[in-house]
Amino acid sequence: MKKIFLFLLLAISANGFSQIMNPVKWTTAVKKISATEYELIASATISGNWHLYSQNVPKGGPSPTTFTFESNANYLKKGNTNEGAGHTVNDPVFKMKITFFEGKAVFKQRIKLKKPNSKFKVNAVVEYMTCNDSQCLPPKEVDLVFDIK
């Protein structure tokens, strides 16, 4: 699995050196589970040796990735935002177990539609921080849009 991601990453990074300045790119997708249930998928492509942190970082640790979904009349959130496995390490600086992502990270949020098969948009904001071994980019907020149709 890791090998595949790595290969994808290499293929992509060959393209954009300018991505070094903006090491995390977000894309969104929507998957239909049933007429009343959808899955919102936010994927981060992380270049080079940069890290993106898990949503579940102990307090006092590095800035976790956080999602805020703007509520509207068309849907209700179902459960929390899931994330992939990532890498867990004992961080020597924060002295705690920290999970981070390299290469790629996928976050999923299930939602329940109030009206079956309705069409609408869900706006969300992801707040995150990217680091490598020697520096971090200041915390950043990115707007995401999920198109339910």
Partner 1 sequence: MKKIIFKALMVILFASALSSCSEKKTVGNEFVVKGKFSKITSPVIVYLTYQDDKNESHKEEFVSKNGEFEFKGNAFASSASIFFTPYVEGYTIDQPEYWTVAAKEMKSKPYFEKSRGFFLEGGTFEFTGDDNLETAKLQTDSENQEIFTEYVQGLEKVKKEYVPLVGQKAVSDSIGIKDQKSDKINAEYELKRKQFVDYAYEFSAKYPESKVSLIALQADGFSYDFDKLSVALDQLSKDLQTVKIASLLRERITKENSNNIGKEAVDFSLEDPNGKEISLQSYRGKYVLVDFWASGCAPCRAENPNVVKAYNKFKSKNFDIISISTDIKKEPWLKAVAEDKLPWVNLIDKKERSKATWVAYGVLGIPSNFLIDPSGKIVAKNLRGIELHTKLAEILK
Which residue ranges make up the site for partner 1 (CB under 8 A)? 1, 4, 7-8, 10-12, 14-22, 25, 27, 29, 31, 41, 43, 53, 59-64, 84, 91, 93-94, 106, 127, 129, 131, 133-139, 141
Question: In Å, how far from its chain's centre is CA 87?
Answer: 14
* First-to-last C-alpha distance (Å) of the chain: 31
Residue 22 or 80 with smaller CB distance to partner 1: 22
C-alpha 14/C-alpha 48 separation (Å) is 10
CB of 36 to partner 1, least distance (A): 20
CB of 15 to partner 1, least distance (A): 4
CB of 114 to partner 1, least distance (A): 25
Residues ≥6 apart with Cβ < 8 Å to 127: 63, 65, 66, 68, 139, 140, 141
The partner residues of 51 in beta bridges, in order of sequence, read: 131
CB of 68 to partner 1, least distance (A): 12
Residue 73 or 93 with smaller CB distance to partner 1: 93
Ranges of H-type helices in the chain:
2-13
Residue 134 or 145 with smaller CB distance to partner 1: 134
Residue 76 or 106 with smaller CB distance to partner 1: 106
Length reported for the chain = 149
